[in-house]
Structure 1
Amino acid sequence: MRLNEATAVSTAKTLLVPYDRRHVLTYHAWMEDPAIQEATASERLTLEEEYENQESWRASHDKLTFIICQPLQAGKGDGMSIQAGNQDAPERMIGDVNLFLYPYEDEDDEALPSATPEFCVGEVDIMIADQQHRGKGLGRAVVQAFLQYIYRHLDEIMREYAEDKDMPTAPRLKLLMAKINQSNAKSVALFRSLGFEQEGDANYFGEVKLVLQHLEDFAAEVPEEYGEPVYSRDQNQDEQ
């Protein structure tokens, strides 16, 4: 999405920045790990394909992506801006968090296929690639910050999604969901701790679907030191 191309999200426990070309080398190195490929159900890509993927995600109006970084250090930020290449340098990158939007498919809905969808659903996905940061509660802090951003910018997210698909009116968000392998007990517990509830049994692929029906209920819990500083790039830096 273009919505967050100049915005970061900062809390006491994490820093989220838009996914830029400067992040691709590190991201590609993460995705070379077979364990991460399996955990994320991803295929191995060449570096060139990874750059193309980054550009596609930035341009796509149904994908919202942030790179997870270590939180701001004392004295390293003015609270109003994040300088690209500094606080999100490769050694400070940890993983990524994403929102994917889909049309809402109701089995009981007999509306014509050409009708404008009234709802869409969002799938939340998180990857902590750096092993030294796993098991420390970072995932929960990241998802909490991400959902707070989604809540605050939901109308803008829906408008960008609708404009791309030539919808006369923006759909409403029906629910948020996370699809997690049932063997990944820590991830399942993470989303449940944030109010997501399991819907049905595991599917053919061994995934469970966890659903959050009311984003507004969750959003009342603002993460500590939550802010949305400007993500600032030098004029000669690539803004893709």
Structure 2
Amino acid sequence: MKLNSNTKIMGRNVVLVPYREYHVPRYHKWMKSEELQKLTASEPLTLEQEYEMQKSWREDDDKCTFIILDKVLFEKCNEETDAMIGDTNIFITEKGLGVGEIEILIAEESARGKKFGWEAVILMLLYGIQHINLKIFEAKISLSNNISIKMFQKLGFQEKSLSEVFQEVTLEKVVNEEWMKWLNEQTQYEIQTC
């Protein structure tokens, strides 16, 4: 999405940066993992296909993605690719109604269980509300991904539907003032130009 092509979001422990070409080789390496393919319901892509996907994420008006950086690591090395730990995305599914599907991936095993995903999702939700004007968020999660299901439930999402065929649950959250206030209390949220 061109909207976020020069946007950096600073949180307490993570930094969200636009998905750029130089991120692709590391992202591609992550997505060779069968575990990550299963958790994200993804098929393996060639490196060339991954570059095409990155271009699509940057150009398409219905997709917004950020690479998640470990803030401490990034401040030490000042190198985005070395500080990469995952990504977070929003697919705008019903533009006129302000509906978006949110996703989160913490690909680096050493970064899991440290609340990086929690903070990254909150930053992305706030960005979606304030800059994309989303009113409803959905999260489609594999039934075997209990950690993500519990995280989104803690964020106030509730079950909308269950697909036995696809083995996934769709959770939903309608934006309201009280929830926005609560999200803002969970972390710092600062937008910078990069």
From the two aligned structures, give the one with the greater helix fraction: 2
| Residue 119 (structure 2) pairs with residue 152 (structure 1) | no
Alpha-carbon deviation of 1:35? 1.3
2:47 is matched with 47
Q: Tell which has more relative contact order, 1 or 2 (C-alpha 8 A, sep 6+).
A: 1
1:96 is matched with 87
1:137 is matched with 115
Could you tell me how far apart the structure 2 residues matched to 1:143 and 1:2 are? 20
Alpha-carbon deviation of 1:174? 4.8
1:23 is matched with 23
| Count of matched residue positions in the alignment of Structure 1 and Structure 2 | 192
Could you tell me how far apart the structure 2 residues matched to 1:73 and 1:126 are? 20
Contact 1:20 1:54 in 2 (8 A): yes
Could you tell me how far apart the structure 2 residues matched to 1:101 and 1:122 are? 4
Could you tell me how far apart the structure 2 residues matched to 1:153 and 1:13 are? 22
Give the alignment's TM-score, normalised by structure 1: 0.74
Aligned counterparts, 1:194-209, within 5 A: 194-209=155-170
Could you tell me how far apart the structure 2 residues matched to 1:204 and 1:154 are? 32
**RMSD across aligned positions (CA):** 2.1
> If you compute each CA radius of gyration, which structure gives the higher value, 1 or 2?
1
Unmatched tracts of structure 1, length 5 or more: 78-84, 105-117, 156-172, 232-240
SS of 2:23's partner is helix
Give the alignment's TM-score, normalised by structure 2: 0.90
Could you tell me how far apart the structure 2 residues matched to 1:73 and 1:23 are? 16
Percent of pairs identical after alignment?
Answer: 39
Could you tell me how far apart the structure 2 residues matched to 1:63 and 1:24 are? 17
Unmatched tracts of structure 2, length 5 or more: none
Contact 2:138 2:171 in 1 (8 A): yes
Could you tell me how far apart the structure 1 residues matched to 2:73 and 2:168 are? 37
Could you tell me how far apart the structure 1 residues matched to 2:171 and 2:55 are? 29
Could you tell me how far apart the structure 2 residues matched to 1:72 and 1:146 are? 19
Residue 9 to residue 87, structure 1, CA distance change in 2 (3 Å): farther
Could you tell me how far apart the structure 2 residues matched to 1:33 and 1:73 are? 23
Contact 1:128 1:139 in 2 (8 A): yes
**Structure 2 letter corresponding to 1:129:** A
**Structure 1 letter corresponding to 2:117:** G
2:174 is matched with 213
Could you tell me how far apart the structure 2 residues matched to 1:120 and 1:8 are? 23
Could you tell me how far apart the structure 1 residues matched to 2:135 and 2:180 are? 16
Residue 218 to residue 87, structure 1, CA distance change in 2 (3 Å): farther
Could you tell me how far apart the structure 1 residues matched to 2:162 and 2:39 are? 19
**Structure 2 letter corresponding to 1:188:** I
Contact 1:15 1:72 in 2 (8 A): no
